[in-house]
Every structure is written in structure tokens, then in C-alpha cells.
Structure 1
């Protein structure tokens, strides 16, 4: 075995996605920016600033030893809980939900930070308690000869350490995110945590129970909170709400269909002109489809698929349990976010405000993503491959 070193393929994919996303933000936003601010470059200039900041954050985080995040995962998690509480007190509202506060002119969304800190604290926890977590263990050597046999462990201990405590870590975040009325963030955070728990060795039978509990909780939220039930109603019957809640979804579908196989050409979207509202945000993929067509959309999806694949390679080559779980969790986060964003804009699931990584306009999401990419690069520096 030898150390693999810095992963150039992963790094190049991140840079390509950042550059591609910046171009699409400009293309999608200039009409809206001109109408609202009399400056067609308003959003493009701000996004460029966010990209430059992200390009500073990523190498700084990547230069740290990945064990820094192992040692301070709990502290980062506690700070995140503090930010989630703080935003409920001093945060400002947008879209009917209080999810942001301003930090040096940048809108910070703590629920975005929670996605990565929860991955890190779960990875740290499972790596410290892996013998207590696994429902089964494997003994490999006896008197110098390799044997393999499976010994059943204490199921109660496996449940307590493998499911109950991680579920409490997840629950603390979920409750605070729910108070922000951030259903999409709640769903993504929960799904990421369940995937990490399964990958880390949690008993799949208990995890199925947790997943069913989570589904029941979401159904209860939809019943109890009118804003959530309204979203479901619009999702099921968008054309009955075509002049209000269903407008965005319908125009997005028109944009996707208008692109055809090859698209109308970069910058040539017609539906970004006051049809798809704020097209540079969560619905930017519809503009990608309209301007670049099916082939361009598949190109974007392929880039994301390659990034996730490379992330899984880093997870496989990781030097220890913490690094492997963290890399896998971050890869799962990217994959989930992309899949759910595309599901939203194609009306496969209700519109709940899920951004497309590296493409949707915004500083908070991009900077958190760049920190995650930095962690992946740090892990890749200490990973090992066979000679």
C-alpha cells in the first residue's frame, strides 16, 4: 500500500462545477437583475465574490489534517446547535421562514452548516464506538492462521450505541430546523444521517424503524402545519393553482420542455424573463435544460455523478473509520441534494426550496460546500491505494 496523495480528479471536478455554475447564474439572472436593480451583473458579481471566497475556504480546510475534524467534531456540532437557536432569535425571515442571519453582509443559513457538522459528529461518534455499534463482529486471526467467523453481539448494546445515541444527535438538529419551518432541510438532514448510520454499521432493522418513524413525523408535520399541506396540495394539483403557488412549477416544466435535445443556446432562455421567478436560485436547472437542452442537462448530471463516484473512491481508500464515514457522508449529501433538486423542478416531489449544489445562487450554501470539498481533499491526502 502507498499513500495516494492529493486527488486531482476530485479537485478538477469541483472547479469545473463551480465555473459552470457561475456561468449559469449569470445567464439565468441578468434579466431579473436588470429589472430589479438596474444592473444586469448584480447577481453575477455577488456570485463571483462567493466563488472567490469559496476558493479561499476550500484549500484552507484542505490543508488541515482530517483528524482536526475528528478531534473537534463535537465542538463544531455544539456551535451549530447554538447557531440554530440564535437564528430563531435574531434571524431575519424570507419566504415565510426565519432561517438566516447576516454575517459581514453574507446571509448565513445555519441549517446548511448543520448538514456537514452532523456528518462529522456522527463519523466521530461511530469511529470511537465501532465495537459497541456493530450488531456482528468478525474475528480474523488465531495462532497466526487467518480465520473468519461471525459472532453475534449484544443486540441491546448495539441498539443503544448504534441507533439511539446517533438518533438523539440527529433529533436535536431536526427539532431546531423544524422550528425554522424548513421542511426540505429537515428531510435532507434526516436522510443524510440515516445513510451515515447505515454505512457506519447500524443494524438495518432498527434503521428501518427509524426511517418509518421519520416518514410518520413528516406526514404529521404536513397535517399540523398549513404551509406544508399547502405545498402538497400545489404539488398534486399545480394547474389548479397556476396563478399562485403552481406558477413556478408550471413555468419550470415549460422551460425544461422548451430546450429539446440541444437547447436554445446559452443566454437564450425565454422563460427567465419574468416567467420562472428568480431563475438563478432553486430552479436554475430548468434554465440549464432550456438553454443547453437534454444533452447539456445530462452533462451536468454526469459531472455530479463523477464527483460522487470520486468521493466514494476517497471513502473506500480512507485511512481510518472516521475518514471513511465522513467522506461517504459528504458524497451522500451531494448526491441527495442533486437528486432532490431535480425531483423538485420536475414536480416529482413538492417544491420545498432545495438548492442545486454549485449552481444555485447564494453564498452560505457555496461556502459550506467548499468546506466539505476541502475536507474531502484533506482525507484524500492521507488515503492509501494498492501498489
Structure 2
């Protein structure tokens, strides 16, 4: 056992680890800075209200990270892991979508309140679940068949069905941002699974057909929930937010003011003006605007470079590893972090309409940091074991 840990520490991916820790702690500092006004004025709490909650979230997240980073990632393909995760996923989605117990926040009925202490979003769990479930199931099937190239469409119909069930539930919750992310994550795992071209084409064909049916059904059944004033406003103000500066373009315009006034070095930590009631919930979706105003282009660059390093490193691991399970896990996690970063920053900068997606590791959110920490544990685990196998 001692020699095992010695070998593990010698091959540990310290680059990924330190960037992950730095971004999480940097996010904690910026959550404190961006949430002071909200905590005092809107909630009537102490200035460090969100800071203390996120600090607790980070402690729990790091404990989960330590467990995941030590246990060999190969065990994620075990039915002992996959089946309980699947049952939990089904229960959570039924609880929110069909039992009517979901808590509505920002237009989406996609939250579960746990004893009033914290809110949990099953769609966030679904992002990590679909990576583990797809990668683990495909890997088990390919081992049984001898190769992923020998897998047929029928061999993977069950995980695809589970995926469609999740997409349907998240769609009924009208969480459009999460729906898109889960869709793309699953596609990244499928593409890197090693399936034959014919099987992939059949999967894409099935998805296209069912996707059209599901979208049509959602528009018919959930049109009132989907076409809320805030959602429609995000699209009408997308091309010219200043024309709707007092309405649907309010957040984007004030985000621009924050970014523009920051300059190269920023106004200084804690000196943001836009967080003083001009940016709703500045500690979540628009936290990068506060970073830009207080720390300038330098602060923004640090965050983007850190997140970019994780994404590029993850894809690099996926490309060089010979283990299909490692490849699928690394590709799925990298896609998740990269896509969510793009959607958040794209909405903030006006490249795409706002979707209410948080910035990984930086924005306030217990569910987000817990699951992203588990994902980072898996990614570092994959990288470390790849180095060990390479040395052998």
C-alpha cells in the first residue's frame, strides 16, 4: 500500500490539481466581493453570507474530490457504481418533473430544496451522471464484445434510452441551458467511444428524429413555461441590448458597463460599482463582469487561462490515452467545462443570448462546485493512471 501511494504521488497531475484549487479559491474571494450588497440589502444578512456558504460547499467538495481522486477510475465501469447512480438519477428526475416537487427558480422548475439548508439541481447531477454512465456502460459492452468496433446499435440502446429520458425530464423542467449542455456532453462521449461509423450515423439519425418529436411536444405542452417574458426578452434584446436597456437588456448592458470600466488593471478588489444593485445576482451568472470591473483584463485573463488549461489538458489526455474508458471520461468532462464556460462568457459578452449558466469553479453554487470537484477528481485520476501505465 505504501509503495502504491508513493507511485501515485510521483505520477500525480499536479498541474491540473493546482489550477483547480486556485480557481476554486479565486472564485471564493470573488463571491465574497460580488455578493456583499446582495447579502446586506436584499437578504438582510451579514456581508459574508454567500462567502460562508460557499466555503462550506468547498470543504465538502474537496472531501469528495479526495475520495474520487484516490479510487481507481476503472471502478466507475462497475455495476456496483453505475446502477445506484442510475436509480438515484431516475428518482431525482421523477421527484422534480413528475411528482411536482421541483422548486421554481429563474423560470425553471429544476431545483430540490434539501431541508431548507441548500438547493440541489438534478440537471447539474445529470451532466456528470451521463458522462459516467455512458463511458462505463460503453466500456463494459466493448469489453464483453472484445472491441467497441463490434458493438451494434442494440448493444447501446439502453444507455441511449436513459439519455433520452433525462433530456425529456430536463426539457419539461424548461432548463434550456442544461438541456443543451447534457446533449453535447453525451455526443462527445459517443464520438470518442470507438463505435463504428454506421452505428454512429444510426445514433445521429435516431437523435435527429426523436429530437424533432421531443422539441415539438415540448413547444405544445410547455409553451407558456418556455415563452416567459424573461426568456423572450433575452432573444429580442440579443442583437441590440441597449434598445432594451431598461428591460430585457438590463443585465447585459450593465455587464458591458462593468467590463468597459475595468480597463487593464481594474478599479481594485471590492471596488465594483455595478454589483451595487445594477447586476442582479452578481455572484452567479455575471461574476465575470465583477471580475472585469475590479481586476480588469488581467483578472479576466487569469480565469480564462485557468479554465482553458483544464479543458485543453483534458482533451490532450483523451487523445493520448489508449484506454477507451479514460478517453471517454476525459472527453466528456472537458466538453462539459469548456462548453459551460463558453455559454457563460458568450452570454455575458453578447456573442450568444443569456441562458443562466454559471461559470465553472468561479460562480456561487453548491451543486455546481460539488459535482465539478468530483469531475476534476476523475480527470486527475485518469491522468495519473495514464502516467503510471506509460511508465510501465
| TM-score over 0.5 for the pair | yes
Structure showing the higher strand proportion among its residues: 1
1:82 aligns with 2:82: no
Partners of 2:65 and 2:148 in 1: CA distance: 38
Q: Residue 58 of structure 1: CA displacement?
A: 0.7
* Aligned ranges 1:271-286 → 2 under 5 Å: 271-286=274-289
**Residue in 1 aligned with 2:121?**
109
Stretches of structure 2 lacking an aligned partner (at least 5 in a row): 1-6
Give the secondary-structure state (helix, strand or coil) at the position aligned to 2:168.
Answer: helix
Equivalent residues of 2:343, 2:355 under 8 A apart: no
CA distance in 1, matches of 2:194, 2:206: 15
* Equivalent pair of 1:318/1:382 in contact (CA under 8 Å): no
- Assess, with a 3 A threshold, how the Cα gap between structure 1 residues 9 and 371 changes in structure 2: closer, same or farther: same
Aligned counterparts of 1:79 and 1:350: Cα–Cα separation in 2? 32
Paired position in structure 2 for 1:196: 189
Alpha-carbon separation, structure 2, partners of 1:281 and 1:127: 36
Q: TM-score, normalised by structure 1?
A: 0.85
Among residues 273, 292, 297, which one is paired with 1:294 in the alignment?
297
Aligned with residue 258 of structure 1, among 247, 255, 261: 261
Offset at residue 46 of structure 1 (A): 1.1
CA deviations 1:182-239 (Å, max 9, x no partner) are 0100010001111111111343645654675688579755784313544322324533
Asked if the contact 1:22–1:47 (Cα under 8 Å) also holds between the matched residues in 2, the reply is: yes
Show the counterpart of 2:52.
Answer: 45
SS at match of 1:235: coil
Would the aligned equivalents of 1:241 and 1:247 in 2 still touch at CA under 8 Å?
yes
SS in 2 for 1:359: coil
Alignment-derived partner of residue 140 in structure 1: none
- Pick from 177, 180, 184: which aligns with 1:184? 177
SS of 2:109's partner is: strand
2:237 is paired with a residue of what secondary structure?
A: helix
1:23 is aligned, of 1, 22, 29, to 29
Alignment CA distance shift 1:214-1:359 (3 Å): farther
User: Structure 1 residues 214 and 249, CA, compared in 2 at 3 Å: closer, same or farther?
Assistant: farther
Q: Which residue of 2 aligns with 1:343?
A: 346
- Cα distance between partner residues in 1 of 2:71 and 2:147: 34
1:233 aligns to 2:226 (yes or no): no
- Give the distance between the partners of 2:293 and 2:317, measured in 1 at CA: 34
Q: What's the CA shift for 1:113?
A: 0.6
Are the equivalent residues in 2 in contact too, given 1:77–1:118 (CA < 8 A)?
A: no
Name the CA distance, whole Å, in 2 between partners of 1:116 and 1:7.
Answer: 21
Q: Distance in 1 between matches of 2:203 and 2:13?
A: 33
Q: Whole-Å Cα distance in 1 between the matches of residues 182 and 384 of structure 2?
A: 27
Q: Distance in 1 between matches of 2:273 and 2:248?
A: 21
CA distance in structure 1 between the partners assigned to 2:158 and 2:180 by the alignment: 19
Contact 1:134 1:201 in 2 (8 A): no
Aligned pairs, number: 367
The offset of 1:135, in angstroms, is 11
1:367 aligns with 2:361: no
Structure 1 residues 131 and 42 mapped into 2: Cα distance closer, same or farther (>3 Å)? closer
Report how far residue 274 of structure 1 moved.
0.8
Please list every run of 5 or more consecutive structure 1 residues that lacks an aligned counterpart in the other structure. 138-152
Tell me if the contact between 1:21 and 1:358 (Cα under 8 Å) persists in the aligned partners: yes
- Give me the CA root mean square deviation: 2.8
Instruction: Give, in whole Å, the separation in 1 of the partners of 2:214 and 2:267.
Output: 39
Q: Distance in 2 between matches of 1:107 and 1:295?
A: 33
Bigger shift: 250-259 or 224-233? 224-233
Q: Do 2:234 and 2:249's aligned partners in 1 also have CA atoms closer than 8 Å?
A: no
